[in-house]
Amino acid sequence: MLKGGVIMDVVTPDQARIAEDAGAVAVMALERVPADIRAQGGVARMSDPDLITGIKQAVSIPVMAKARIGHFVEAQVLEHLAVDYIDESEVLSPADYVHHIDKHAFTVPFVCGATNLGEALRRIAEGAAMIRSKGEAGTGDVSEATRHIRTIRHEIAVLRATYESGPEELYAAAKDLQAPYELVREVAETGSLPVVLFTAGGVATPADAALMMQLGSDGVFVGSGIFKSGNPAKRAAAIVKATALYTDPGAIADASRGLGEAMVGINVADLAAPHRLAERGW
């Protein structure tokens, strides 16, 4: 039950303990945070099982780990390691440029990234139990996360309006979204995704996290933003506080005081297209 919570990227058991102590609802165990993957380049893969097991032993909250897009054997390994969630993630180098993992073949729940509603519904059709808007990981620039959550929410609102005005138009809507009609109809009827919708990518401050919550996110992933900052423990706790009290500017102001240096950011606009992770996945 992760809703309303903050999920933090960690690369060591010590970081995992700091995250748990700060009130994270889960941690993402990985070898390099996205900012370092971006800086160091090369092929990014599933983490060493020893690292994942070490982090699992360090904390009592759920532990997630990333598999490459389409790499169903990495997912089999992660399921064998009994991680609590698998993130089929564009932050790693894709293993398949056509197919995502058939997530119905697993019992462990999957979280997948999406930049729009059609992409989210394709992942749900494949068996994803949780969607996160992608944002642009490892930048500290929240603009892409904002765009993706706004896009998904807007497209849901359009479907809802179509359902009210002319449900026979949902067949064409499904064609345009490139998503199964049954899922499109369900979203149109209920006005929400059938799974939880978190936000990720570039969240670096308490106000960033509260922005995502006010935009309708069920919770927030913070990747490089915490452990690439000056005072990780304090920033982690502050982001948790702002996420819980996301409609209270006074509380967000208090959470934002004296946090030290935020992670050094990269403007997404300055990133050449091949280096944009959000464009991975289809």
Positions marked catalytic: 66
79 binds another protein per the rule CB under 8 A: yes
* Nearest distance from C-beta of residue 91 to another protein, angstroms: 21
* Nearest distance from C-beta of residue 246 to another protein, angstroms: 10
H-helix or E-strand spanning residue 68: strand 63-68
126 binds another protein per the rule CB under 8 A: no
72 binds another protein per the rule CB under 8 A: no
Distances, alpha carbon 124 to alpha carbons 2, 3, 85, 127, 227, in Å: 18, 18, 15, 5, 31
Tokens of 60: 């009592």
- φ, ψ of residue 199 to 5 degrees: the values are -120, 145
Only segment of 131-139, 147-155, 240-248, 271-279 that touches another protein (CB under 8 A): 240-248
Distance CA 142, CA 127 (A): 28
- Of residues 149 through 208, those in contact with another protein by CB under 8 A are none
Distances, alpha carbon 32 to alpha carbons 40, 198, 241, 281, in Å: 10, 21, 26, 20
How many residues can be counted in the chain? 282
Only segment of 66-74, 101-109, 167-175, 273-281 that touches another protein (CB under 8 A): 101-109
236 binds another protein per the rule CB under 8 A: no
- Of residues 48 through 67, those in contact with another protein by CB under 8 A are 59-62
Q: Give the residues lining the site for another protein (CB under 8 A).
A: 1-5, 17, 20-26, 59-62, 79, 82, 84-85, 107-109, 237, 240-241, 243-245
